[in-house]
């Protein structure tokens, strides 16, 4: 499986444009903590995970804001923080 950075950028822009067309200028995230499966178990479909960790959307968002402001350098792990925030939005927004 392969996806280009350009494809990701295009789909992200289209989804953000869709939210804006729905009148969304900001999105209220009502949950903060979430369950997380450790990455070494996340993609192992043959064994049920027995250990969960806790993530925090507030922390994820704070790290993303540091990148956006230039306080922190962008890094690939930012995709994990972004994914958590986008998951919360996708789970709560309709349309």
* Mean pLDDT, range 25-45, rounded to an integer: 93
Q: Is residue 82 in a domain? A: yes
- Domain residues for the domain of 51 are 28-92
Alpha helices in 1-95 (DSSP H): 5-21, 39-42, 57-69, 78-92
Q: Is residue 3 in a domain? A: no
Band of pLDDT at residue 54, cut at 50, 70 and 90: very high
Q: Name the CA radius of gyration of the chain, rounded.
A: 15
What integer pLDDT is reported at residue 94 of this predicted model?
A: 78
Q: Is residue 5 in a domain? A: no
Q: Is residue 80 in a domain? A: yes
Q: Is residue 41 in a domain? A: yes
Q: Is residue 57 in a domain? A: yes
Q: Is residue 23 in a domain? A: no
Q: Is residue 6 in a domain? A: no
Query: Is pLDDT above 80 for 91?
Result: yes
d(CA 86, CA 56): 13
């Amino acid at each position: 499986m392969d996806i280009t950075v350009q494809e990701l950028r295009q789909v992200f822009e289209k989804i953000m444009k869709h939210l804006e067309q729905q009148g969304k200028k900001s999105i209220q995230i009502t949950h903060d903590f979430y369950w997380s499966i450790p990455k070494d178990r996340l993609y192992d479909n043959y064994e049920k995970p027995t250990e969960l960790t806790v993530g925090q959307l507030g922390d994820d968002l704070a790290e993303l804001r540091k990148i956006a402001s230039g306080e922190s350098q962008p890094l690939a792990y930012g995709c994990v923080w972004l994914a958590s925030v986008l998951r919360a939005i996708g789970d709560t927004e309709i349309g």
